[in-house]
Amino acid sequence: CFFGDGATNIGYFHEALNLAAVWDLPVLWICENNQYGMGTSVGRAAAIEEIHYKAEAYNTPHARVDGMDIRKVYEAAQEALAHAREKGPFFLEAVTYRFEGHSMGDPERYRTKEEIGRWEENDPIGIYRRHLLNDGAADDALLDQLEEQVDLELQEAVSQAEAGPEPAWEDFVGTIYADGYRDDSSQL
């Protein structure tokens, strides 16, 4: 179950952790702590900044991982998932950062360019690139070629989407709701 740091401050979060522990459910809670719930920093919204400690209130084992390093996340997730499958709920906090605003309408007045710059130095793609280079799994030429290929694929996908027809309303609700759902969109 994935959620952001802001979600850990609402009642449903605590109810879910409590019941998962009471019923000993095989659930892996993964909190993406990107430092901000909307525009409010974790430190201003919660009494505890290391969110994984909230799991202790429900006798749920927990860990914190550098969410900017995909290898560390993978290893921590494997251990957490094994625990959840064999012993019950586990809470994993991945400490990461959101480089862009929360939405298109976010003026981003709540953080400085210096803060963003510090986090950009630890960009997950750059970290993984360094791993690949250090391990000898790839060289700069190959990685540059792959980046160019991915950029082209993304540009083509965007062009295709922009050139295509607008989807019909039925296409939206047809892929969201279960069979048997009564569509009352005509009353909107």
Burial of 62 (0-12, 13-18, 19+ CB in 10 A): buried
> What gap in Å lies between CA 62 and CA 20, rounded to an integer?
14
Residue 9 in contact with residue 37, Cβ under 8 Å? yes
Please, which residues have CB within 8 angstroms of residue 170's CB and are 6 or more apart in sequence? 183
Residue 65 in contact with residue 93, Cβ under 8 Å? yes
User: What's the pTM?
Assistant: 0.81
Burial of 21 (0-12, 13-18, 19+ CB in 10 A): middle
- Nearest-CA neighbor of 17 among 36, 35, 30? 30
| Per-residue pLDDT, 170 | 80
| Per-residue pLDDT, 40 | 87
Intervals of the chain under pLDDT 50: none
| Per-residue pLDDT, 120 | 92
Residues facing residue 31 across a β-bridge: 3, 93
